[in-house]
Amino acid sequence: MKKIISSLALCSSLIVLPTISDAALGDKLLKEGMTDPDVKELQDVLRQKGIFSATSTGYFGSITKDSVLSFQRSHSLTADGIVGSNTYQALIANSTSTVTNGTLLKYGMTSNEVEKVQQLLKEKGYFNATPTGYFGTITQTAVMNFQRDHGLAVDGIVGPATLNALNNASSSFTGSSTVNSSTQATANDIVAYSKKFIGVPYVWGGTSPSGFDCSGFIYYVFKNGGGVTVPRTVATLYQSGKSTSTPNVGDIVFFDTTGGPSHAGIYIGNGQFIHAGSSTGVTIASLSNSYWAPRYLGSKSVF
């Protein structure tokens, strides 16, 4: 997520430095009293939805809080006036993404159905905790691992396809960790596709060629370049991926820019990765870069 854009003019050339923080949208709380470029972009999004009519200033005051509260109430979210991951997801949700066939089970829910899913996951070796009925990060990670092993869209949400697979899969299923030729071909396709967007600007919440944030870029490229659905935020990407000792082409590389995994890119080989930086847009960088090297957390595969 864009926080500060730093630049240095030297010998009539403009050198754009990495931002102090390239955190992922949805991984940073926005609340009353803050002044931040992300607040300004939040206000723009709220205005587009007809909820915010004031001037976008970047200051999170009472008018912004009231707008957020109004949005949260109308979308059955916890009305606290704070923009966290759940509110962010609702803000950027595609208007065509509606539930028509029953209730989806997802992060943050508490119900008897969630407890039954946890029990199914436990029987199949994916869930080691006590089923409680609360859909938290442990459940979400278990669902993602199950989805990946069974060739489903990896989104951490239990819909009809995932539920059907849970009901029909044999117990204690163990997925293959071998990277086969098909997987490598997909990774190569994703990397080649990602390079088409070099130069596309960074946009808060962006998930299209008109502008990306770091996780939005990864989400778009994997889905459209390789037919692979991955989680939308860096936090959930980091939770769902399988760690690799050294990055392979197509792996996601993670960085700590604000405390914990908060920025990510796609490894393209030769010590380089492609990412959407808040001060650079989509660009290729080196893992050995003086800014990125000390912030590198490791790599994970999502195949």
Question: Residue 34 carries which side chain, given as an amino acid letter?
Answer: M
Active site residue: 11, 75, 150, 263, which one?
263
Residue 62: which CATH number? Answer: 1.10.101.10
Active site residue 263: yes
pTM for this predicted structure: 0.49
Question: Cα–chain-centroid distance for residue 192?
Answer: 21
- What pLDDT, on a 0 to 100 scale, did the predictor assign at position 197? 96
Dihedral over alpha carbons 84, 88, 91, 93 (to 10 degrees)? -140
Per-residue pLDDT for 99 more than 50? no
Active site residue: 11, 75, 150, 275, which one?
275
Name, in order, each residue with C-beta under 8 angstroms of 217's C-beta and a sequence gap of 6 or more. 194, 197, 200, 206, 275, 276, 282
Q: Is residue 105 part of a domain?
A: no
Active site residue 75: no
- What pLDDT, on a 0 to 100 scale, did the predictor assign at position 183? 63
One domain for residues 260 and 228: yes
Per-residue pLDDT for 174 more than 50? no
For 196-236, write each residue's pLDDT tens digit.
Answer: 999 999 998 899 999 999 999 999 999 888 888 888 888 88
More confident call, 192 vs 39 = 192
Active site residue: 11, 75, 150, 214, which one?
214
Closest listed residue to residue 299, CA positions, set 225, 208, 218: 218
- What pLDDT, on a 0 to 100 scale, did the predictor assign at position 6? 36
Closest listed residue to residue 286, CA positions, set 255, 242, 261, 257: 255
List the domain range (segments joined by +) for residue 141: 112-168
One domain for residues 283 and 249: yes
Helix axes 85-92, 37-48, angle to 10 degrees: 40
Q: How confident is the model at residue 122 (pLDDT cuts 50, 70, 90)?
A: confident
Active site residue 11: no
According to DSSP, residue 104 is labeled P
According to DSSP, residue 22 is labeled B
**284 and 224 Cβ atoms separated by less than 8 Å:** no
Per-residue pLDDT for 103 more than 80? no
What is the number of structural domains in the chain?
3
Percent of the chain residues topping a pLDDT of 70: 81
Report the SS3 class of residue 245.
coil
